[in-house]
């Protein structure tokens, strides 16, 4: 095990180059596309005088922007590696959710404005004009079905609704986005004045949607098939680490070619009864090895609770690796010390980082927050790693009466007087992450040195 740990740390040192965030350039590109869409409308719009013309013009603007935003929504579902690894899966997920909200609002506004504008122009009532648009305009029946589907998907994806749905239900409803976008796409070209007047604009729109479709097909379908045919993952063993906490050890062929790093996660589908139709994200809880991968999962639903019953030899379908909370996130130039903070199930990626992230003796610290001592999962492994790496390991558990330990910025600074020179990795429930981010900032840790991925949309 010591040799494995040293080899993994050497690989981490090779990979650990300054990795600048690509968020700003990507956002600039996305907003630049929106400005180009507005420019297309401006170029193709003449003088407007009547009120109905202004309303229809507003409907055209919102329609174009809705079409563009929809393409962005699908792009951010494609799991493009440069986005997932350089920007972070959490940020990409938040962008996807935000773009989805923009797209839904723009679609609704487009529909209402177009119907209202045409109704004023023709002197008809809104209901009659709506029926005329749907029945007489090309590709509008399909567009209506697609729009309704997208609105429904947007509503069930809202936090309040999503918390009431099983993950599996939400996941498969979300996949209907592809069908909805396909149905809504064609009316943009057949009824859009900009595309009728400018063949180049139609070509660009085809290129936009065609490029996004190619990314989806490649990264959501072809890449996972290639990965699983190549590596042929199977369950080797399951270990009950604590009540309700299970480690699943998987073996396969040439797993080093996955290029997985400590801190990353995969989306796992276990081809066993009641599990084969569900794909859930779980982080690696141990350093990736050439022939083994391990995850450690706390039972929090039907899928995670069923993992303990997996039998050796069960085939595994994996997608990944994803996530940017790796050693490459570290800043350079102000010391090489690292503080890892984990809460609850957040210990899984932190345990892997604790084993491999480059740090000098005495320069690595792990703080593990849990409700009780029995909830300190993988604690014995952490102790072994701490001793081998001459690292510091602390736990913070509630008192027997449930009283939470008092962790303050001053207390952190006393334990680590040079805490401002630490890179801090955070993983745990949203409440814990928010609490520690505030404490760390108060203790003097620059925001750029606090690394955290959150999947609360």
State whether 93 and 202 are in the same domain.
yes
Residue of 117, 144, 102, 140 lying closest to 48 (CA atoms)? 117
**Confidence band, pLDDT 50/70/90 cuts, at residue 456:** low
Q: Which is more confidently placed, 143 or 196?
A: 143
State the average pLDDT over residues 68-83: 92
Q: Is residue 210 part of a domain?
A: yes
Distance, CA of 289 to CA of 11 (rounded, Å): 11
Kindly state the tokens that stand for 245.
């906490």
- Kindly report the CATH number assigned to the domain that includes residue 342: 3.40.50.80
Query: Which of 322, 339, 358 represents a domain boundary (last residue)?
Result: 322
**pLDDT at 181 > cutoff 90:** yes
* pLDDT over threshold 70, residue 6: no
pLDDT band at 225 (very low <50, low <70, confident <90, very high): very high
Q: Which H helix or E strand runs over 161?
A: helix 159-162
Q: Could you tell me which residues come within 8 angstroms of residue 354 by beta carbon, excluding any fewer than 6 positions away? A: 340, 364, 366, 382, 385, 386, 389, 391
Residue 349 within a domain:
yes
Strands 265-270 and 280-283: antiparallel
Dump pLDDT digits (tens) for 103-119: 999 999 999 999 999 99
Q: What is the rounded distance in angstroms from the CA atom of residue 13 to the CA atom of residue 33?
A: 38
Q: What is the DSSP string of 163-219?
A: TTS-HHHHHHHHHHHHHHHHHHHHHHHHH-HHHHH-HHHHHHHHHHHHHHHHHHIII
268 and 335 both lie in a single domain: no
Separation between Cα atoms, residue 300 and residue 244, nearest integer Å = 8
CATH code for the domain of 306: 2.40.30.10
Residues 80 and 207 in one domain: yes
| Integer Cα distance of 155 and 165 in angstroms | 12
Residue 137: inside a domain: yes
CB count within 10 Å of CB 365 equals: 22
Query: Do 110 and 184 lie in a common domain?
Result: yes
Tell whether 448 is covered by a domain: yes
**Beta carbons within 10 angstroms of residue 401's beta carbon:** 5
pLDDT band at 455 (very low <50, low <70, confident <90, very high): low
Tell me which range, 42-46, 309-313, 341-345, is most confidently predicted by mean pLDDT: 309-313
Give, for 339, the enclosing helix (H) or strand (E): strand 337-343
Q: Are 97 and 134 in contact (CB under 8 A)?
A: no
Cα–Cα distance for residue pair 451/326, rounded to 1 Å: 9
- Rounded average pLDDT over 57-80: 94
Number of domains in the chain: 3
- SS3 of 227, please? helix
Looking at the structure, do residues 194 and 274 belong to the same domain, yes or no?
no
* The predicted structure's pLDDT at residue 58: 93
pLDDT reported for residue 119: 94
Task: Find out whether the peptide bond into 321 is cis, omega within 30 degrees of 0.
Answer: yes
Q: How far is the C-alpha of 283 from the C-alpha of 114, rounded, in Å?
A: 47
Write phi, then psi, for 337 (nearest 5 degrees).
-85, 150
Yes or no: say if 245 and 282 are a contact pair by the CB < 8 Å rule: no
Tell me, yes or no, whether 144 and 238 share the same domain.
Answer: no
In angstroms, rounded to a whole number, what is the distance separating the alpha carbons of residues 399 and 402?
Answer: 5
In a domain, residue 8? The reply is: no
Q: Distance of CA 227 to CAs 166, 258, 277, Å?
A: 28, 8, 18
| DSSP letter (8 states) at residue 18 | -
Same domain, 297 and 345: no
Residues 354 and 440 in one domain: yes
Tallying the residues shown for the chain, one arrives at: 457
Q: Determine the pLDDT at residue 19.
A: 42
Per-residue pLDDT, 16: 39
Report whether pLDDT(89) > 90: no
Which H helix or E strand runs over 245? strand 245-251
Which structure tokens are listed for 303?
A: 């899928």
268 and 341 both lie in a single domain = no
Phi and psi at 63, nearest 5°, equal: -65, -45
* 33 vs 13, higher pLDDT: 33
The tokens describing 282, both together, are 């779980």
Average pLDDT value for the chain: 87
Work out the pLDDT band at 454, boundaries 50, 70, 90.
low
* Cross-strand partners of 395: 368
The whole-number pLDDT of residue 15 equals: 41
Instruction: Look at residue 12 and tell me if it is in a domain.
Output: no
Q: What is the mean pLDDT of residues 373-387?
A: 92
User: Which tokens go with 19?
Assistant: 């990795």
**Domain end (from 322, 349, 377):** 322
* DSSP H or E stretch at residue 223: helix 223-231
- Please check whether residue 208 lies inside any domain of the structure: yes
Give pLDDT tens digits for 202-224. Answer: 999 999 999 999 999 999 999 99
Last residue of a domain, one of 302, 322, 342: 322
Same domain, 182 and 293: no
How far apart, in whole angstroms, are the C-alpha atoms of residue 108 and residue 121? 20
| 425 inside domain | yes
Q: Which domain holds residue 317?
A: 232-322
Same domain for 312 and 178: no
User: Are 298 and 362 contained in the same domain?
Assistant: no
In order, the DSSP letters of 358-413 are: ---TT-EEEEEEESSGGG-TTHHHHHHHHHHHT-EEEEEE--TT-PPP---HHHHH
């Amino acid at each position: 095990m010591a040799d494995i740990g040293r080899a993994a740390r050497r690989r981490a040192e090779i990979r650990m180059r300054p990795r600048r965030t690509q968020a700003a350039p990507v956002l600039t590109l996305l907003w630049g596309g929106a400005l180009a869409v507005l420019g297309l409308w401006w170029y193709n719009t003449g003088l407007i005088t009547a009120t109905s013309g202004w309303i229809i013009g507003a409907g055209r603007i919102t329609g174009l922007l809705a079409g563009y935003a929809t393409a962005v929504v699908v792009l951010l579902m494609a799991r493009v590696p440069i986005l997932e690894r350089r920007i972070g899966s959490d940020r990409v997920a938040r962008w996807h959710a935000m773009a989805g909200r923009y797209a839904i609002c723009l679609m609704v506004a487009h529909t209402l404005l177009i119907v209202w504008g045409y109704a004023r122009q023709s002197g008809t009532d809104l209901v009659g004009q709506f029926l005329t648009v749907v029945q007489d305009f090309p590709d509008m029946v399909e567009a209506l079905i697609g729009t309704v589907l997208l609105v429904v998907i947007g509503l069930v994806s809202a936090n309040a609704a999503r918390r009431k749905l099983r993950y599996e239900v939400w996941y498969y409803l979300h996949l209907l986005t592809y069908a909805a976008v396909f149905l809504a796409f064609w009316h943009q070209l057949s009824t859009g004045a900009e595309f009728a007047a400018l063949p180049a604009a139609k070509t660009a729109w085809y290129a936009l949607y065609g490029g996004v479709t190619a990314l989806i097909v490649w990264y959501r379908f072809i890449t996972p098939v290639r990965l699983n045919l190549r590596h042929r993952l199977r369950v080797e063993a399951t270990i009950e680490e604590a009540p309700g906490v299970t480690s699943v050890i998987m073996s396969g062929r040439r797993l080093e070619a996955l290029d997985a790093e400590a801190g990353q996660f995969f989306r796992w589908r276990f081809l066993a009864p009641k599990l084969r139709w569900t794909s859930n994200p779980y982080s690696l809880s141990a350093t990736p090895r050439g022939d083994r991968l391990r995850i450690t999962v706390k039972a929090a639903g039907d899928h995670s609770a069923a993992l303990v019953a997996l039998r050796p030899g069960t085939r595994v379908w994996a997608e990944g690796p994803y996530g940017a909370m790796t050693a490459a996130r570290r800043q350079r130039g102000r010391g090489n010390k690292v503080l890892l903070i984990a809460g609850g199930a957040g210990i899984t990626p932190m345990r892997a980082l604790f084993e491999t992230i480059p740090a000098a003796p005495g320069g690595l610290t792990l703080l593990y927050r849990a409700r009780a001592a029995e909830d300190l999962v993988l604690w014995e492994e952490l102790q072994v790693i701490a001793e081998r790496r001459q690292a510091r390991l602390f736990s913070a558990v509630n008192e027997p009466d449930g009283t939470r330990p008092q962790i303050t910025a001053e207390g952190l600074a006393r334990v680590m007087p040079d805490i401002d020179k630490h890179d801090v990795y955070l993983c745990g429930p949203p409440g814990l992450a928010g609490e520690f981010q505030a404490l760390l900032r108060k203790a003097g840790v620059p925001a750029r040195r606090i690394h955290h991925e959150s999947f609360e949309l």
